[in-house]
């Protein structure tokens, strides 16, 4: 309907290098080629987003395309929300000692996120193989998690087992 939505790609160039008519960088320098190819990739992804919305019979607006492209149109659950849900749903099924172990895993996950990523929480969509292996390495090689005691391999595997159980619950 002729309405615009703007998205910042967090790339900066001088005004003199920008071709307003083409919406691209002037020249054939390496920098210009990289930025122009990146702009082409983004354009392709936005067109794919448009096709997805068409397939889902959603209303097509510039804001809807922008929200889908940025991943803001879906409700994203986080790891800490998952842990809270796990406590609520499994409270009656698990013994107090087992719940205490899950609290320990939660504590280590929070420390890991704070120490390595400098964040308080993470979207479940961002949990991948690298996250899991980084968490394992943090448990085994990282700072002392308890007073003067490093986490052993068996302890690290138990924490990973608990994390896997919670992620499977989310799935």
Beta bridge partners of 19: 24
Task: Say whether 25 sits in a helix, a strand or coil.
Answer: strand
Residue 71 scores a pLDDT above 80:
no
The total of other beta-carbon atoms located within 10 Å of residue 111's CB is: 15
Write 105-113 long-range contacts (CB < 8 A, 24+).
105/159, 105/162, 105/163, 106/80, 108/138, 108/139, 108/145, 108/151, 108/159, 109/79, 109/83, 109/135, 109/163, 110/80, 111/145, 112/138, 112/139, 112/142, 113/79
pLDDT for position 56 = 87
Summary mean pLDDT of the chain: 90
Q: What is the average pLDDT across 134-145?
A: 86
Q: Whole-model pTM?
A: 0.60
143 phi and psi angles, rounded to 5 deg: -65, 165
* Most confident of the following: 38-42, 68-72, 138-142: 38-42
């Amino acid at each position: 309907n002729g309405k615009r939505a703007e998205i910042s790609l967090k790339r900066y160039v001088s005004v003199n290098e920008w071709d307003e008519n083409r919406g691209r960088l002037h020249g054939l320098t390496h920098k210009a080629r990289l930025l122009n190819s990146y702009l082409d990739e983004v354009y392709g992804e936005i067109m794919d987003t448009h096709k997805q919305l068409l397939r889902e019979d959603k209303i097509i607006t510039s804001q809807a395309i922008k929200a889908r492209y940025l991943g803001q149109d879906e409700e994203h659950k986080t790891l800490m929300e998952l842990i809270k849900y796990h406590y609520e749903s499994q409270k009656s099924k698990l013994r107090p000692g087992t719940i205490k172990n899950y609290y320990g895993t939660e504590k280590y996950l929070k420390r890991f996120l704070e120490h390595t990523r400098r964040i308080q929480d993470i979207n479940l969509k961002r949990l991948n193989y690298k996250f899991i292996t980084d968490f394992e390495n943090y448990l085994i090689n990282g700072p002392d998690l308890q007073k003067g005691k490093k986490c052993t391999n068996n302890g690290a595997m138990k924490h990973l087992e608990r994390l896997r159980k919670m992620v499977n619950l989310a799935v």
